[in-house]
Amino acid sequence: MNAIEVRELTRVFRRGKVRAVDAVSFEVPQGTVLGIIGANGAGKSTLFRLLTGHIRATSGTAVVLGHPVSQSDPSRWVRTGYVSQSRYLPGGMTGAECLQFARALRRGWDDQKVVQLVERLAFPQHVRIRELSRGHHVRLQIALALAHNPEVIFLDEPTAGLDPAARRELMGILIDEIGLRGRTVLFASHTMEDMERMADSVAIMDAGRIVSMGPLDSLKKDAGADVKPASLEQVFFQTVERRPE
């Protein structure tokens, strides 16, 4: 069964001048990790915002856990978790206050899990959010995104700004989400090693389109080059460079 199904999803900005996401189609089977890589401005974050209902699609459809994604459907907050790249959390609150606030709003909140997450992620709970470093802000976002045991987890560059210990801890948390709970993960990162380690399949985005997609092993095998690439980084550069203008 697919947890995510996307058909010809498109979002244009500036009256059609910019096709940020351009006729993208893919599916993510339940319990698997789809990694998304692409240069800055390739459309990854817009894709995440479309799939989480933060912005509307210009055309095409996105279905998450059997429901079409829509801004007016509050159930999407219950069944999905999202770590975005923007610092949207209220700066005047402390981390602990923010967690308390979210707890009141979100069905399925798991107090025991929050205690574990806070311990594993180790961020200062009693400092105002505006004073948190990028890394600590991300850690708080991760705790907020997973506290209600969502079935689908959207992670938009979660490891950017994390120190090596926190990155490893996040990977450990994800390993449990996938291995113990069978969660589905959509994971964008510029760190190719994260992808090599965590992704079941990888999609390469360029100028709003998915230019290549598949299990990592087949991407390496099918790369249309004389020298078969050994790493995802090589696959990425071969794929993006070979794309006709």
Partner 1 sequence: MELRIDTTDGTPIYIQIVDQIKRNVAGGRLKPEDPLPSVRQLALDLTINPNTVARAYLELEHQGLIYKRQGQGTFVCTQALGAAKRERNKIVSGLFQKAIEEAGRFGMSPAEITAVFEQQLQHSELEKV
* Residue 39: CB minimum distance to partner 1, A: 21
Cβ closest to partner 1, residue 102 vs residue 195: 195
Q: Say if strands 2-13 and 59-64 run parallel, antiparallel, or are unpaired.
A: antiparallel
Let me know how long the chain is: 245
The amino acid present at 83, given as its one-letter code, is V
Residue 91 zone, left/alpha/beta (φ > 0; ψ -120 to 50; rest): alpha
* Residue 236: CB minimum distance to partner 1, A: 13
Cβ closest to partner 1, residue 217 vs residue 245: 217
Angle, to 10 degrees, between the axis of helix 164-179 and the axis of helix 134-146? 10
- DSSP-derived letter for residue 130 is G
Cβ closest to partner 1, residue 131 vs residue 193: 193
* Residue 160: CB minimum distance to partner 1, A: 17
Residues at the interface with partner 1 (CB under 8 A):
31-33, 168, 171-172, 175-176, 178-180, 192-193, 196-200, 216-217, 220, 228-231
* Residue 168: CB minimum distance to partner 1, A: 6
Q: Say if strands 33-38 and 59-64 run parallel, antiparallel, or are unpaired.
A: unpaired
Cβ closest to partner 1, residue 92 vs residue 179: 179
